[in-house]
Every structure is written in structure tokens, then in C-alpha cells.
Amino acid sequence: MTTGAGGPRSPGLRVRGLTVERPAVGGAPGRDQRRSVVADLDLDLAPGQRLALTGPSSADVTAVLACLAGQRPPSGGSVTVDDLELGLHPEPRRLGYLSPDHRLIGTLTAVENVLVSLIAGGEPSNRVTGERAETQLAALGLSPATWHNLVEQLSGGQQQRVALARALVLRPRLVVLDEPTSELDPDSVELVVGVLREVASDGVCCVLSSDDDVLLDLCDRRITLG
């Protein structure tokens, strides 16, 4: 399966021969039967471009996004960003990832969760860094009253925006966002769209999944699995 016009564009995201498999349901006991979610995917995404990944199975889309984000190894193929192999668990300056379960640290505040990404990316732990975290949270519509609450005290939509702020705050070379607006109201969705436009203007590649037409219309391209 090949997507994209013309030759490879670099720097940016380059995917070659990506194959993602999942265990087959109802296979014979004791036999590792697997089915292909996507096979031999080729993809080039230039800096600042946004790609939507859709499909009939949200679990399959999530599996492909996780491989694109270096969160799990694919069955085959390669993912490179700016001509360098992405690898497993890439550092935050190269990759920002929003997973369906958000992966926030419940014992930290909203600001502290964003600071984790900044400090992991090599930023000093100082007032300026704290202000960057707060600015990103504010851009996504989180009021100052929520910034210093433990994330376990926040609503699902607030937690989703904290996780999104953490993924975007460093302006990594690639962001992979799994359903970034699934728990948000229309006003909050518009804020996310505005932030993603700003991120694209900084040359960040973005791959996302969504059922929201507003977010899908933001994307330059779309791939449908299956």
C-alpha cells in the first residue's frame, strides 16, 4: 500500500514498507495466528503537513499510530524523521505522542505533567519553563484554576488537553495524536484546531486519528485502513 505523490520529501516523516499485525481473534489454541492491519505502507509527509488516519476499527488505527510513534515495534518496515530512524520510545524533542489513555501521572498537577515533557527534552527547571507549560495549557483552554490541580481531579476533557499540551509543548519534529478531541466540546475542538495550525506553521509533521469532521478538514491528506 503506497500513499503520496512524487518522490520522497525530506526532511519530514518518511515511512517505508510499514507492516503492522495484530493477533487474530478466534485462532486455534496454542497457535500464534496474526492478521495484517496494514502491509507495506509507504508514506512521505513534509514538515508542517497534517495527515488523518482513519478506518473501520479504532483498535487497528491505534496500533498503526503506536508504531508510527515508536511506542511498539512494527512487524516490518521503517519510520524515519528528518532522515534518522525514529526507533522505540524516541526522546520528546523528536516525537510528541497522545495515546488514547493519555498516560498522565495522576500524582502530579496539570502543569507538572507538561513540565515532565519539557525537562525530559532538556529544558531547565525554572520559571521560564513553567511559564511555557502554562502558556500551552492556556492555549488549549485550560483556566489557571486547573493548572495546579492533580490531574486525577480533572475531568476527562481537561485531562485530554493536558496530555495534548504535553505532546505539543516542545514542538517536536513529529506529533502523533490518537483521537485528540474525542472528549471535547465544540469550542474546545476549535481551540485544538487553532493550536495545530500554529504547530504546523513551526514545521511540525502531524499524524492523527479522529471522527470529528472539523479536525479531519484541517488535515492535508487522509489514509483509510482496510
Q: Looking at beta carbons, which pairs linking 144-153 to residues 24 or more positions away fall under 8 Å? A: 146/110, 147/109, 147/110, 147/111, 148/109, 148/110, 148/111, 149/109, 149/110, 150/106, 150/107, 150/108, 150/109, 151/104, 151/105, 151/106, 151/108, 151/109, 151/110, 151/113, 152/106, 152/107
Cell of 139: 492555549
DSSP, res 27: P
The count of other CB atoms within 10 Å of the CB of residue 226 is 10
Residue 76 forms beta bridges with which residues?
A: 19
The helix or strand, by DSSP H or E, that contains position 41, with its residue range, turns out to be strand 34-45
Class assignment of domain 13-224?
Answer: alpha beta
Type of residue numbered 42: D
| Side-chain half-sphere CA neighbours of 222 within 13 A | 12
Q: Which pLDDT belongs to residue 9? A: 44
Residue showing cell 514538515: 47
CB 218 within 8 A of CB 50: yes
Angle at 211 between CA 70 and CA 47, to 5 degrees: 45
Distance CA 32, CA 34 (A): 6
**Domain chopping of the chain, boundaries:** 13-224
| pLDDT (0 to 100) of residue 5 | 42
| pLDDT digit string, tens, across residues 141-167 | 999 999 999 999 999 999 999 999 999
SS3 of 223, please? Answer: strand
Q: Do 186 and 215 form a contact (C-beta atoms < 8 A)?
A: no
pLDDT tens, per residue, the chain with 226 residues: 334 444 444 589 999 999 999 876 655 555 557 788 999 999 999 999 999 999 999 999 999 999 999 999 999 999 999 999 999 999 999 999 999 999 999 999 999 999 999 999 999 889 999 999 999 999 999 999 999 999 999 999 999 999 999 999 999 999 999 999 999 999 999 999 999 999 999 999 999 999 999 999 999 999 999 7
